[in-house]
Chains A and B, each alone.
Chain A
Protein backbone atom coordinates (compact mmCIF):
# COMPACT_ATOMS: atom_id res chain seq x y z
CA UNK A 1 0.00 0.00 0.00
CA UNK A 2 2.86 2.38 0.79
CA UNK A 3 4.07 2.04 -2.81
CA UNK A 4 0.70 3.00 -4.31
CA UNK A 5 0.18 5.79 -1.74
CA UNK A 6 3.60 7.29 -2.59
CA UNK A 7 2.88 7.07 -6.31
CA UNK A 8 -0.39 8.97 -5.87
CA UNK A 9 1.38 11.57 -3.71
CA UNK A 10 4.07 12.04 -6.39
CA UNK A 11 1.48 12.38 -9.15
CA UNK A 12 -0.61 14.99 -7.29
CA UNK A 13 2.58 16.85 -6.28
CA UNK A 14 3.79 16.94 -9.90
CA UNK A 15 0.41 18.04 -11.28
CA UNK A 16 0.25 20.74 -8.61
CA UNK A 17 3.71 21.97 -9.59
CA UNK A 18 2.82 22.20 -13.29
CA UNK A 19 -0.61 23.81 -12.66
CA UNK A 20 0.99 26.34 -10.30
CA UNK A 21 3.32 27.45 -13.10
CA UNK A 22 6.43 26.46 -11.14
CA UNK A 23 7.37 24.02 -13.88
CA UNK A 24 8.59 27.10 -15.74
CA UNK A 25 12.02 28.20 -14.41
CA UNK A 26 11.55 31.71 -15.85
CA UNK A 27 8.59 32.20 -13.52
CA UNK A 28 10.62 31.13 -10.49
CA UNK A 29 13.55 33.34 -11.49
CA UNK A 30 11.18 36.27 -11.99
CA UNK A 31 9.89 35.77 -8.45
CA UNK A 32 13.48 36.20 -7.27
CA UNK A 33 13.90 39.35 -9.42
CA UNK A 34 12.44 41.85 -6.94
CA UNK A 35 13.78 44.90 -8.75
CA UNK A 36 13.02 43.71 -12.30
CA UNK A 37 10.35 41.59 -13.98
CA UNK A 38 8.90 40.56 -10.60
CA UNK A 39 6.27 37.79 -10.73
CA UNK A 40 4.83 37.14 -7.23
CA UNK A 41 3.11 33.84 -8.26
CA UNK A 42 5.49 31.73 -6.12
CA UNK A 43 4.13 33.37 -2.95
CA UNK A 44 0.69 32.04 -3.86
CA UNK A 45 2.10 28.54 -4.47
CA UNK A 46 3.88 28.41 -1.11
CA UNK A 47 0.98 30.18 0.60
CA UNK A 48 -1.57 27.73 -0.81
CA UNK A 49 0.59 24.73 0.06
CA UNK A 50 1.25 25.90 3.65
CA UNK A 51 -2.39 26.98 4.19
CA UNK A 52 -3.40 23.38 3.43
CA UNK A 53 -0.45 21.49 4.96
CA UNK A 54 -0.21 23.39 8.26
CA UNK A 55 -3.64 22.36 9.63
CA UNK A 56 -3.35 19.00 7.81
CA UNK A 57 0.00 18.13 9.45
CA UNK A 58 -1.42 19.15 12.82
CA UNK A 59 -4.35 16.78 12.37
CA UNK A 60 -2.11 13.93 11.12
CA UNK A 61 0.23 14.55 14.08
CA UNK A 62 -2.57 13.61 16.48
CA UNK A 63 -2.48 10.06 15.11
CA UNK A 64 -0.34 7.42 16.79
CA UNK A 65 0.89 5.94 13.50
CA UNK A 66 0.46 6.42 9.74
CA UNK A 67 -2.14 4.44 7.78
CA UNK A 68 0.26 2.05 6.04
CA UNK A 69 3.50 2.28 8.04
CA UNK A 70 4.54 1.59 11.62
CA UNK A 71 6.04 4.95 12.52
CA UNK A 72 6.22 8.60 11.44
CA UNK A 73 9.71 9.35 10.06
CA UNK A 74 9.96 12.97 11.16
CA UNK A 75 13.18 15.00 10.95
CA UNK A 76 14.84 14.88 14.36
CA UNK A 77 17.56 17.52 14.01
CA UNK A 78 16.90 20.73 15.89
CA UNK A 79 20.20 22.59 15.64
CA UNK A 80 20.61 25.58 13.37
CA UNK A 81 24.23 25.06 12.34
CA UNK A 82 26.70 25.99 9.63
CA UNK A 83 25.70 23.00 7.57
CA UNK A 84 22.06 24.17 7.42
CA UNK A 85 23.03 27.75 6.57
CA UNK A 86 25.88 26.88 4.17
CA UNK A 87 23.80 24.27 2.35
CA UNK A 88 20.89 26.67 2.04
CA UNK A 89 23.17 29.41 0.64
CA UNK A 90 24.51 26.99 -2.02
CA UNK A 91 20.99 25.81 -2.78
CA UNK A 92 19.56 29.32 -3.06
CA UNK A 93 22.42 30.43 -5.32
CA UNK A 94 21.81 27.50 -7.70
CA UNK A 95 18.05 28.07 -7.52
CA UNK A 96 18.52 31.71 -8.54
CA UNK A 97 20.99 30.88 -11.33
CA UNK A 98 18.81 28.23 -13.00
CA UNK A 99 15.29 28.95 -11.75
CA UNK A 100 14.98 25.25 -11.01
CA UNK A 101 14.74 23.39 -7.71
CA UNK A 102 14.52 19.58 -7.41
CA UNK A 103 10.69 19.19 -7.65
CA UNK A 104 10.02 21.19 -10.81
CA UNK A 105 13.20 19.89 -12.48
CA UNK A 106 12.29 16.22 -11.88
CA UNK A 107 8.69 16.89 -12.94
CA UNK A 108 9.83 18.49 -16.22
CA UNK A 109 12.13 15.57 -17.21
CA UNK A 110 9.47 13.87 -19.43
CA UNK A 111 9.21 17.04 -21.56
CA UNK A 112 12.77 16.15 -22.69
CA UNK A 113 14.17 19.67 -22.88
CA UNK A 114 17.94 19.47 -23.13
CA UNK A 115 18.43 22.17 -20.44
CA UNK A 116 16.19 20.28 -18.00
CA UNK A 117 18.05 17.00 -18.57
CA UNK A 118 21.39 18.78 -18.16
CA UNK A 119 20.21 20.41 -14.91
CA UNK A 120 18.91 17.12 -13.47
CA UNK A 121 22.13 15.24 -14.30
CA UNK A 122 24.22 17.99 -12.65
CA UNK A 123 21.85 18.01 -9.65
CA UNK A 124 22.12 14.22 -9.22
CA UNK A 125 25.94 14.49 -9.42
CA UNK A 126 25.85 17.20 -6.74
CA UNK A 127 23.57 15.12 -4.51
CA UNK A 128 25.68 12.01 -5.02
CA UNK A 129 28.87 13.92 -4.23
CA UNK A 130 27.42 15.38 -1.03
CA UNK A 131 26.23 11.95 0.12
CA UNK A 132 29.29 9.99 -1.03
CA UNK A 133 31.82 12.26 0.60
CA UNK A 134 29.87 12.42 3.80
CA UNK A 135 28.96 16.08 3.77
CA UNK A 136 25.57 15.13 5.13
CA UNK A 137 23.74 13.62 8.04
CA UNK A 138 24.98 12.01 11.21
CA UNK A 139 27.96 10.35 9.46
CA UNK A 140 29.63 13.66 8.69
CA UNK A 141 28.73 15.14 11.97
CA UNK A 142 30.84 12.50 13.66
CA UNK A 143 33.56 12.85 11.04
CA UNK A 144 33.60 16.62 11.43
CA UNK A 145 33.76 16.57 15.20
CA UNK A 146 36.38 13.78 15.30
Chain B
Protein backbone atom coordinates (compact mmCIF):
# COMPACT_ATOMS: atom_id res chain seq x y z
CA UNK B 1 0.00 0.00 0.00
CA UNK B 2 1.93 3.05 -1.28
CA UNK B 3 1.30 6.51 0.17
CA UNK B 4 2.48 9.84 -1.20
CA UNK B 5 5.37 11.60 0.57
CA UNK B 6 3.96 14.95 1.76
CA UNK B 7 6.76 16.97 3.37
CA UNK B 8 5.08 20.41 3.21
CA UNK B 9 1.65 19.37 4.51
CA UNK B 10 3.25 17.17 7.16
CA UNK B 11 5.56 19.96 8.34
CA UNK B 12 2.62 22.41 8.46
CA UNK B 13 0.38 19.96 10.33
CA UNK B 14 3.22 19.15 12.71
CA UNK B 15 3.74 22.83 13.46
CA UNK B 16 0.03 23.14 14.27
CA UNK B 17 0.38 20.20 16.69
CA UNK B 18 3.36 21.95 18.31
CA UNK B 19 1.41 25.23 18.55
CA UNK B 20 -1.54 23.40 20.15
CA UNK B 21 0.79 21.82 22.73
CA UNK B 22 2.28 25.24 23.61
CA UNK B 23 -1.19 26.77 23.92
CA UNK B 24 -2.46 23.98 26.20
CA UNK B 25 0.59 24.30 28.46
CA UNK B 26 0.44 28.12 28.52
CA UNK B 27 -3.31 28.31 29.17
CA UNK B 28 -4.03 25.29 31.42
CA UNK B 29 -0.57 24.16 32.55
CA UNK B 30 -1.10 20.69 31.08
CA UNK B 31 0.86 18.49 28.68
CA UNK B 32 -0.86 17.61 25.38
CA UNK B 33 -0.48 13.86 25.64
CA UNK B 34 -3.49 12.29 23.97
CA UNK B 35 -3.26 8.93 25.75
CA UNK B 36 -3.18 10.73 29.11
CA UNK B 37 -6.06 13.03 28.19
CA UNK B 38 -8.22 10.18 26.87
CA UNK B 39 -7.42 7.76 29.72
CA UNK B 40 -8.36 10.42 32.30
CA UNK B 41 -11.94 10.12 30.97
CA UNK B 42 -12.04 6.48 32.10
CA UNK B 43 -12.57 5.13 35.62
CA UNK B 44 -11.07 5.35 38.17
CA UNK B 45 -11.52 9.10 38.16
CA UNK B 46 -8.67 11.58 38.35
CA UNK B 47 -8.11 15.32 38.26
CA UNK B 48 -8.44 17.32 35.08
CA UNK B 49 -11.50 15.49 33.76
CA UNK B 50 -13.33 18.64 32.60
CA UNK B 51 -10.42 20.00 30.54
CA UNK B 52 -9.80 16.51 29.15
CA UNK B 53 -13.42 16.30 28.00
CA UNK B 54 -13.26 19.70 26.28
CA UNK B 55 -9.92 18.83 24.62
CA UNK B 56 -11.45 15.61 23.23
CA UNK B 57 -14.54 17.55 22.06
CA UNK B 58 -12.20 19.92 20.18
CA UNK B 59 -10.34 16.94 18.73
CA UNK B 60 -13.64 15.40 17.56
CA UNK B 61 -14.70 18.71 15.93
CA UNK B 62 -11.57 18.76 13.74
CA UNK B 63 -12.70 16.01 11.35
CA UNK B 64 -16.13 17.49 10.46
CA UNK B 65 -14.62 20.98 10.04
CA UNK B 66 -11.83 19.63 7.81
CA UNK B 67 -14.39 17.63 5.85
CA UNK B 68 -16.61 20.70 5.26
CA UNK B 69 -13.67 22.81 4.04
CA UNK B 70 -11.46 20.35 2.19
CA UNK B 71 -13.45 17.14 1.78
CA UNK B 72 -12.81 13.63 3.01
CA UNK B 73 -9.12 12.86 3.66
CA UNK B 74 -7.71 9.49 2.61
CA UNK B 75 -8.00 6.85 5.33
CA UNK B 76 -6.65 3.37 4.67
CA UNK B 77 -6.69 1.09 7.69
CA UNK B 78 -4.37 -1.86 7.09
CA UNK B 79 -5.10 -5.33 8.42
CA UNK B 80 -8.08 -7.47 9.37
CA UNK B 81 -10.63 -6.69 12.09
CA UNK B 82 -8.78 -9.04 14.46
CA UNK B 83 -5.49 -7.22 13.81
CA UNK B 84 -7.18 -3.86 14.44
CA UNK B 85 -8.59 -5.08 17.78
CA UNK B 86 -5.22 -6.49 18.94
CA UNK B 87 -3.51 -3.27 17.83
CA UNK B 88 -6.03 -1.17 19.78
CA UNK B 89 -5.64 -3.26 22.95
CA UNK B 90 -1.83 -3.03 22.78
CA UNK B 91 -1.89 0.73 22.12
CA UNK B 92 -4.30 1.28 25.04
CA UNK B 93 -2.38 -0.93 27.49
CA UNK B 94 1.05 0.25 26.38
CA UNK B 95 0.31 3.97 26.41
CA UNK B 96 -1.05 3.83 29.97
CA UNK B 97 1.69 1.52 31.32
CA UNK B 98 4.43 3.50 29.54
CA UNK B 99 2.73 6.76 30.57
CA UNK B 100 2.61 8.27 27.11
CA UNK B 101 2.28 7.92 23.36
CA UNK B 102 3.48 9.65 20.21
CA UNK B 103 2.19 13.04 21.39
CA UNK B 104 3.02 12.90 25.11
CA UNK B 105 6.48 11.31 24.83
CA UNK B 106 7.25 11.87 21.14
CA UNK B 107 6.33 15.54 20.80
CA UNK B 108 5.89 17.08 24.26
CA UNK B 109 8.45 14.98 26.15
CA UNK B 110 11.19 15.46 23.57
CA UNK B 111 10.40 19.20 23.50
CA UNK B 112 10.91 19.22 27.30
CA UNK B 113 14.18 17.33 26.72
CA UNK B 114 12.92 14.58 29.07
CA UNK B 115 15.29 11.61 29.14
CA UNK B 116 12.34 9.30 29.94
CA UNK B 117 10.45 10.47 26.87
CA UNK B 118 13.46 10.20 24.58
CA UNK B 119 14.00 6.59 25.73
CA UNK B 120 10.26 5.84 25.37
CA UNK B 121 10.15 7.30 21.84
CA UNK B 122 13.21 5.35 20.69
CA UNK B 123 11.69 2.19 22.25
CA UNK B 124 8.23 2.45 20.67
CA UNK B 125 9.64 3.45 17.28
CA UNK B 126 11.99 0.46 17.33
CA UNK B 127 9.10 -1.83 18.32
CA UNK B 128 7.06 -0.31 15.48
CA UNK B 129 9.86 -0.82 12.92
CA UNK B 130 10.30 -4.47 13.99
CA UNK B 131 6.54 -5.15 13.99
CA UNK B 132 6.01 -3.76 10.49
CA UNK B 133 9.10 -5.59 9.22
CA UNK B 134 7.80 -8.90 10.58
CA UNK B 135 4.26 -8.15 9.38
CA UNK B 136 5.14 -7.17 5.81
CA UNK B 137 8.41 -8.88 5.02
CA UNK B 138 8.47 -12.04 7.13
CA UNK B 139 4.81 -12.88 7.79
CA UNK B 140 4.11 -12.80 4.04
CA UNK B 141 1.31 -10.21 4.32
Query: Quick check: B88 and A126 within 8 Å, CB to CB?
Result: yes
| CB within 8 Å: A-B pair count | 510
- Do A102 and B12 have beta carbons less than 8 Å apart? no
A24 pairs with B11, CB closer than 8 A: no
Within the assembled complex, what's the spacing in Å between the Cα atoms of A138 and B105?
A: 18
**Besides A92-B131, A98-B77, A129-B93, 10 other CB < 8 A contacts?**
A6-B27, A12-B58, A18-B13, A41-B6, A48-B18, A53-B22, A66-B28, A84-B119, A101-B34, A130-B97
Closest residue of chain A to B18, judged by CB?
Answer: A52
Contact indicator B97/A90 (Cβ below 8 Å): yes
The total of chain B residues at the interface (CB under 8 A) is 114
Which 4 A-B pairs have CB atoms at the shortest separation, nearest pair first? A126-B92, A87-B98, A20-B13, A10-B58
Q: Which of B54-104 contact A (CB under 8 A)?
A: 54-67, 72-79, 81, 83-99, 101-103
Residues in B with CB closer than 8 Å to A85 are 98, 119-120, 123
Question: Interface of B with A (CB < 8 Å)?
Answer: 1-7, 9-32, 34-35, 38-39, 42-44, 48, 50-52, 54-67, 72-79, 81, 83-99, 101-103, 105-116, 119-121, 123-133, 135-137
Residues of chain A at interface, number, CB under 8 A: 118
Residue of B nearest to A114 (CB): B81
* Chain A interface residues toward B at CB < 8 A: 1-27, 29-30, 32-37, 39-42, 44-54, 56-57, 60, 63, 65-75, 77-80, 83-103, 105-111, 113, 115-116, 118-132, 135-137
